[in-house]
Amino acid sequence: MIRSELIQRVADDNPHLTQRDVERIVGTIFEEIIQTMADGGRVELRGFGAFSVKKRDARQGRNPRTGESVAVEEKHVPFFKAGKLLRDRLNGS
């Protein structure tokens, strides 16, 4: 499912909301999740999962084409941990 499909599904399930309102709501939710993670926070959606940020330390990598050693800087990467309800539903429980 892509963002536009999500917006359309929410709009279809809520006929009292206009398409523009649904776009604004979905956009606001995503922006809040992104901003919270950018600030180093964690976003937990009960039954679905939790979004957080993990730090990857600097390391020595390797260029696969040439084989030469390359310095890889430290970075922060998004991390998602599925909630119990989501895991159970995916596994048919």
List of the chain residues with pLDDT < 70: none
In this structure, are residues 50 and 81 in contact, taking their beta carbons and an 8 Å threshold?
Answer: yes
The pTM assigned to this predicted structure is 0.78
- Burial of 13 per CB tally in 10 Å (0-12, 13-18, 19+): exposed
Amino acid 93: pLDDT: 74
Amino acid 51: pLDDT: 97
